[in-house]
Amino acid sequence: MNRPVPSTDPAISLTGVTVAYGEVLALDGVDLTLGAGLVHGLVGMNGSGKSTLFKALMGRVRLTGGEVRLAGVTSDAARAAGLVSYMPQAENVDWDFPVSVREVVMMGRFGHQDRMRRIRAADRAAVADALAEVELTHLADRQIGRLSGGQKKRAFLARAMAQEAQILLLDEPFAGVDRPSEDTIIRLLRSLAAQGRTLVVSTHDLAGLPNLADDVVLLQQRVIAHGTPEDVLRPETLGLAFGAPAVSGAGR
């Protein structure tokens, strides 16, 4: 079930990671160490570099400087070993695409399959388990766009679970999600962390962070603060990134 991880601790480390788009610095010397088996919240304003940070972790953007290591290896090697999973933001998904929920979850299994991606019994079982975990078994044959906002997020979470990735990157998993779905997702994320997976969750929902995250990274091109939710969510700390006076309970 669990693939061997080259090195467990820390799961993610960035040293001096800098990304420039033309003359604009999206990330400016980010140093960050994220431990394994934890849920890490990632907060910051729009344009603070959260998306770029995800892209850097996924190896989807060329680093101007610095280094990214995932589970002790380079980002390329981590991807090749199937260690990384990514849940996209809702607006980056084509919801009219003719695939069923089950087929989307099956896409998490490609790394376990041969070059033709033939589906084996183990793949079917992993997909069925993941669907059951996120409580979507009864909707498995629905076209992916015919789900509610929360169900869509759970479908993509199931894909990451079926992949059995060690590092899960989740981009705004609570946007457009109703309260019950949010609670389900938080519970699932916590249980994944309890199994030793490492989760990085970007969110605008500051109020929900204490229930979700073990620690929080406040980003504004650089790491402004990194600590427990209580520490980072203090108004004087938030003010550094969101601009003073900090709004209490911003986002909700």
Partner 1 sequence: MSWWDYLIEPWQHEFMLRAILVTTVAAVVAAVLSCWLVLIGWSLMGDAVSHAVLPGVVLAYLLDLPFAIGALIFGFAAVALIGAVSRGSKVKEDAAIGVVFTTLFALGLVLISVIPSQTDLNHILFGNVLGVLDVDLLQVVVLGALTLGVTLYKRRDLTLYAFDRAHAHVIGLNVRWLDTLLLGLLAVTVVVGLQAVGVVLVVAMLIIPGATAFLLTERFSRMLVIAPVVGGLCSLAGLYISFYADTSPGGTVVLAQGTLFTLVYLFVPEKGVLAKLMARSRSVAA
Record the tokens describing residue 42, joined without a space: 């990632």
Strands of 215-220's sheet in order across: 84-87, 167-171, 198-202, 39-43, 215-220, 222-227
Least gap, CB of 165 to partner 1 (angstroms): 8
Which one, 8 or 143, has the nearer CB to partner 1? 143
The residue among 99 and 175 lying less far from partner 1, judged by its C-beta, is 99
- Interface size with partner 1, residues (CB under 8 A): 30
- The Cα-based distances of 87 to 52, 65, 154, 170, 174 in angstroms read 15, 26, 10, 5, 11
Question: Which residues make Cβ contacts (< 8 Å) with residue 114, sequence separation at least 6?
Answer: none
Report the nearest approach of partner 1 to the CB of residue 93 (Å). Answer: 7
CB closer to partner 1, 117 vs 187 = 117
- Residue 142 beta carbon to partner 1: minimum distance, rounded to whole angstroms: 9
The residue ranges of DSSP E strands in 127-211, in sequence order, are 167-171, 198-202
Question: Binding partner 1 by CB under 8 A: which of 5, 26, 53, 58?
Answer: 58
- Using the rule CB under 8 A, give the single segment among 52-60, 123-131, 214-222, 232-240 that binds partner 1: 52-60
Q: Say if residues 166 and 3 touch (Cβ distance below 8 Å).
A: yes
Query: Which residues in 168-197 contact partner 1 (CB under 8 A)?
Result: 169
Among 3, 60, 120, 187, the residue binding partner 1 under the rule CB under 8 A is: 60
**Sites for partner 1 among residues 91-150 (CB under 8 A):** 92-94, 97-100, 103-104, 107-108, 110-111, 116-117, 143
Mention every residue, 6+ apart, whose C-beta is less than 8 A from residue 59.
68, 75, 76, 79
Query: Minimum distance from CB of 118 to partner 1 (Å)?
Result: 9
Binder among 52, 163, 166, 184 for partner 1 (CB under 8 A): 163
- By C-alpha distance, which of 53, 84, 52, 54 is closest to 70? 84
Distance (Å, whole) CA 116 – CA 92: 26
For the bound state, the minimum distance from the C-beta of residue 240 to partner 1, rounded and expressed in Å, comes to: 30
> What part of residues 202-241 is at the interface with partner 1 (CB under 8 A)?
none
Please give the Cα distance from 115 to 244 (Å, whole number): 54
Contact status: 48 vs partner 1 (CB under 8 A): no
d(C-alpha 108, C-alpha 158), whole Å: 8
Tokens of 53: 């940070």
Binding site for partner 1 (CB under 8 A): 58-60, 79-82, 84-86, 88, 92-94, 97-100, 103-104, 107-108, 110-111, 116-117, 143, 159, 163, 169
